[in-house]
Structure 1
Amino acid sequence: MEDMRMIFKGDDVFYRPLAQDDLPALYSWACDQEVTKYSLSWYVIPKPIECHKTWLAALIAKDTSVDLAICCNETQKIIGYSGITALNLINRCGEFYILIGEQDYWGRGIATEATKIITEYGFKNLGLHRVELTAFADNPAAITAYKKAGFIHEGIKRQSGFRDGQYRDKVMMSALSSEWMK
């Protein structure tokens, strides 16, 4: 791998910077409609691998986000990625995101752990005051993971996402440094 520096270590996974060598896994997830069903971003419209290569290079080079690979402690294999994007250091806020691409790791609490670890990093290391996120209202697993991690439901963004030929509501959630679990 280009950069195997471990940034955080959890119970079952560790977090490291994304690398160009992660492209095959990221692309395979992009091609899996079950994995991308609730994706709010890049994966919504299918694209050739060359576009994903350019996207990943730009993501790695970007300094307005924290983007980390989530890797299995045992196998060292990437199983997902997560981070905080849209960093605004004037308003001290950012937007959390996560995608667990390897379905064998769904339902194991990894999303909750990643949400906690990366949000904590945003508060303590980046000096953020607010970390926010959105999730489709019909994605109860994500909403539950975010609540367990300490995020608070703020409201509904009505019909703000378009999937499967219809508009869908999104849940808006946030965590504030002043309320964050110490």
Structure 2
Amino acid sequence: MIKLAPLHWENVRPFYKWINDPEVIEYSMSAFQSMSTEAEIDKWFAKTLQDEASLNLGIFIEATNELVGYAGISGISRLNQSGEYFILIGEKAYWGQGVGTEVTRQVLALGFGTQHLQRIMLTVSEPNVGGLKAYQRAGFQVEGRLRKACLRQGRFHDKIVMSVLKDEWPPLAY
């Protein structure tokens, strides 16, 4: 159903819509909360394309080649063989369709395989119950809590720190 492929400059346009949709970015990285203009998004996207410490991939629908989001691993440390998983499904028509589960499976396979990582972590907003459950199904385990680490819609909430190790993946129930 989906394929992951490197992002290119011509893929920037959907991000204009996604980053300006409060529902899409509600639990996304803080940088998205302060961007709104095409120029700001262009600047972020250009940096993303040049980031050699991250694996940045577009999420494409295989049949149509439509870009519906992006995912990958940021802050890759070759020394520590670790990085931080991220995902944004920008096209809401694909929410709840299993895209996130499949993307997570593919990115973890790349992280532990071609990237030779030992540990992949993430943070998830506590109110994002669906995300928390999906990450647990993918093999991520809760490591801790960052108290009141995120401000959204005028309220602080906790971020849950999770990780999965190479020798724990894939989980049997995945």
Alignment TM class, shorter chain as reference: over 0.9
Does the CA contact (< 8 Å) of 1:116 and 1:150 recur in 2? no
Q: Tell me how far 1:35 sits from its aligned partner.
A: 0.5
Partner residue of 2:81? 92
Does the CA contact (< 8 Å) of 1:20 and 1:57 recur in 2? yes
Describe the superposition over 1:118-168 as per-residue Cα deviations: whole angstroms up to 9, x where unpaired. 111111111111000001000011111111111111222111111111211
Q: Secondary structure at the match of 1:147?
A: helix
Does the CA contact (< 8 Å) of 1:152 and 1:174 recur in 2? yes
When normalised by structure 2's length, the TM-score is 0.94
Q: Select which of 141, 149, 157 maps to 1:160.
A: 149
Q: What 5-or-longer segments of structure 2 have no aligned partner?
A: none
Tell me the distance in 2 between the aligned counterparts of 1:41 and 1:158. Answer: 16
1:118 aligns with 2:107: yes
Q: What 5-or-longer segments of structure 1 have no aligned partner?
A: 1-11
When normalised by structure 1's length, the TM-score is 0.90
Partner residue of 2:49? 60
1:177 aligns with 2:171: no
Describe the superposition over 1:56-90 as per-residue Cα deviations: whole angstroms up to 9, x where unpaired. 11111111000000011122110000000011111
What RMSD over aligned residues (CA atoms) do the two structures have, in Å? 1.2
Runs of 4+ in structure 1 off by over 6 angstroms are none
Partner residue of 2:13? 24
Percent identity, aligned pairs only, is 35
Does the CA contact (< 8 Å) of 2:138 and 2:170 recur in 1? no
Number of residue-to-residue matches in the alignment: 171
> 105-114 or 46-55, which moves further after superposition?
46-55
Partner residue of 1:144? 133
